[in-house]
């Protein structure tokens, strides 16, 4: 492809202009460089003098300032730690609890779409909490796999399906807290 001479001249002109302006800017800045350095030196010196000054502050005010600073510092550290742990917590989306595989998603700090799967065939389990309707029976929820001859894979005592799901959520959060304490997250 042949170069267009008009375009070449235009590009050269633009390049010359940019180069000229750049050189002018650098030369102009050099002129103000000693003034800038002097200003920087004065500022640093002023800050140093300010830091060396002594002030008479009542002890109660000093203690309040120290306490506030400590609290702010501590909360900043906690916040930084929780931000650092968050990605790892958000990647914790499955676990074996009460002999079945539980999977879930995170929506913010909430556990959503929590459900259990068969540890043998990975089939979605169905539940049976009918006995919770009877007053004199032990309240429990059975999790059954249709793929494994309707075998009861897990029986969780305490309440119906809703109770069980909340219990599993509490267990997930307990595990997270424990893992954080053991620095595994
Ligand atoms: Zn199964």
Band the pLDDT of 74: cuts 50, 70, 90.
confident
How far away, in angstroms, is 141 Cα from ligand 1 center? Answer: 17
Q: What angle do CA 125, 142, 147 make, to 5 degrees?
A: 35
pLDDT at 2: 45
pLDDT at 122: 96
Q: Which of 4-8, 43-47, 167-171, 176-180 has the highest mean pLDDT?
A: 167-171
pLDDT (tens digit per residue) in 16-37 = 657 666 666 666 666 667 788 8
Q: pTM of this prediction? A: 0.53
Band the pLDDT of 1: cuts 50, 70, 90.
very low
How far away, in angstroms, is 99 Cα from ligand 1 center? Answer: 12
Tokens of 137: 């029976």
How far away, in angstroms, is 95 Cα from ligand 1 center? Answer: 16
**Per-residue CA distances from 90 to 12, 70, 101, 113, 165 (Å):** 55, 30, 17, 14, 19
What is the spatial distance between Cα 66 and Cα 134, in angstroms, rounded to a whole number?
Answer: 61
pLDDT at 156: 93
How far away, in angstroms, is 125 Cα from ligand 1 center? Answer: 8
How far away, in angstroms, is 19 Cα from ligand 1 center? Answer: 74
Q: What angle do CA 160, 164, 168 make, to 5 degrees?
A: 175
């Amino acid at each position: 492809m042949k170069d267009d001479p008009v375009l070449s001249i235009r590009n050269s002109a633009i390049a010359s202009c940019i180069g000229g302006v750049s050189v002018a800017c650098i030369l102009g800045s050099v002129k103000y460089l000693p003034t800038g350095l002097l200003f920087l030196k004065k500022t640093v010196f002023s800050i140093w003098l300010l830091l060396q000054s002594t002030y008479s502050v009542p002890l109660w005010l000093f203690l309040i300032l120290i306490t506030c600073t400590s609290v702010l510092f501590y909360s900043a550290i906690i916040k930084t730690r929780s931000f650092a742990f968050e990605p790892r917590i958000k990647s914790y989306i499955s676990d074996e609890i009460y002999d079945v595989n539980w999977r879930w998603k995170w929506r913010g700090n909430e556990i959503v779409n929590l459900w259990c799967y068969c540890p043998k065939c990975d089939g979605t389990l169905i539940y049976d909490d009918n006995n919770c309707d009877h007053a004199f029976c032990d309240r429990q929820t059975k999790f059954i796999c249709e793929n494994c001859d309707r075998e009861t894979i897990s029986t969780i005592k305490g309440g119906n399906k809703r109770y069980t799901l909340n219990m599993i959520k509490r267990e997930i959060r307990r595990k997270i807290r424990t893992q954080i304490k053991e620095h595994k997250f």
